Amino acid sequence: MFEGLKARMERFFADATPPADRRAQAGALRSAIIEARVAVAAMRDALQASERQLEVERRQAEDAERRGKLAGDIGDLETVAVAEKYAVRHRERLAVVERRIAVQREELMLAEREMAEMTEALRGAPGDAAGDSVRDAWRDLEGAGGVRPETDVADALLQAEMDQARRKAAVDEQLAFLKKKMGKE
């Protein structure tokens, strides 16, 4: 995902944009940074999902090993064999997920570093080009009926309501989980 963005950025700079068109160059760099932020957020989400999967695999491997030990204690050799089969399978999956997480972390570090470099390059761009581009964009948006987020009270209220709804949903989800865990549902 991030490689495509990087390739587009390299093509953009290789096209030898004339120095007089600093505004277009800064705008393209800004767009690339926005895409990079989205890509980095997606990479973080994928890493978190992998970390959750790692915990599930650990629990399942531990459960299979525990079941095998309990079956061995009572002399149930068939259950011991089945439990060992599942324990091996979960340990293999665990190893794969651990390697995936290591790769995802390295990829995320690279993406964050490249995003920081692009951000620094944008900061190093002439102030007039970047500032003019932003002002022009907001002027165009406001002319089309748009509102700047920092001046939009309705947007702030909506954001607060959305935050409250997310918190309520998280609390409800946790309550449902606890009820299920306690056997009350």
Percentage of the chain lying above the pLDDT 90 cut: 26
HEC secondary structure over 73-106: HHCCHHHHHHHHHHHHHHHHHHHHHHHHHHHHHH
**Prediction pTM value:** 0.54
CA 107 to mean position of chain CA atoms = 12
Q: Is the dihedral of CA 149, 119, 132, 8 positive or negative?
A: negative
Does residue 131 have a pLDDT over 60? no
The domain 2-146 is placed in CATH, from the list 3.30.1360, 1.10.287, 3.40.50, 1.10.260, at 1.10.287
Does residue 97 have a pLDDT over 70? yes
pLDDT 10s digits, 149-171:
556 656 667 778 888 988 999 98
Does residue 89 have a pLDDT over 70? yes
Instruction: Give the pLDDT score at 71.
Output: 87
Domain ranges, ordered by start, for the chain: 2-146, 152-185
